[in-house]
Amino acid sequence: FYAANSTHLMKQMRGLLKFTLPSMTGKTLTYSYLTLYKYNSETTQRTIELHQNTSNFTESTVTWNTAPTYETEMVDYKVVNGVADTAYIFDITKSVREWVEGTSTNYGFTIKDQADLGAYTRFYSSEHWLEFPVVQIGFIDSAGIKDFWTYSSQDAGEAGTGYVSDYTGMMT
């Protein structure tokens, strides 16, 4: 993970992030967040964008010329201020859901400044001992009837009654 995101002295710099998903078999994703901690202090507010990559990269060999392509549409963005060590939480639920469901491939994310030039914002990398990037993935076990979901019931004759979750569409 390369967490520097800057465009210092008219140079473009981007951050790349990729992580392995846990097994989600039999589970329903409820949320997913990426937390980045700002490294430096400056007085200028910057808009930092998170984009889903559309091609792969290898951390040990990626260069500017081999960096992955990414979606033009942002996954999320944050306006960062001049306070170092501030946590910024990006909602990555839609991307993680696509990866879990197999509708897109997990190539990770590109982190970039909205302006691309003339800015300087850095985040701590995965090598930092305390304020490293954190990915949170919330899920629930899809099996069984949950008291916090609603269900549509269907008479199954002698077999009993089937229940379909209004949230997941799964039958219990």
**11-65 per-position pLDDT tens digit:** 677 889 999 998 888 888 999 999 888 877 676 788 889 999 999 999 889 888 8
- Paired with 6 in beta bridges are 120
Task: Indicate the range of 1-10, 22-31, 158-167 predicted with least confidence.
Answer: 1-10
pLDDT at 5 over 70: no
Lowest mean pLDDT among 27-41, 70-84, 114-128: 114-128
CA dist., res. 113 & res. 42, Å (int):
14
| φ, ψ dihedrals at 120, nearest 5° | -155, 100
Which residue type sits at 143?
A: A
- At 96 the pLDDT is 96
pTM for this predicted structure: 0.77
Average pLDDT, the chain: 82
* Residues 60/45, Cβ–Cβ less than 8 Å: no
103 pLDDT exceeds 50? yes
Give me the pLDDT at residue 6, please.
43
84: pLDDT strictly greater than 80:
no
Tokens representing 46 are 């910057």
**pLDDT at 118 > cutoff 90:** no
Q: Which of 99, 115, 135, 2 is nearest to 49 (CA)?
A: 115
Report how far apart, in Å, the C-alpha atoms of 162 and of each of 145, 148, 155 are: 11, 18, 6
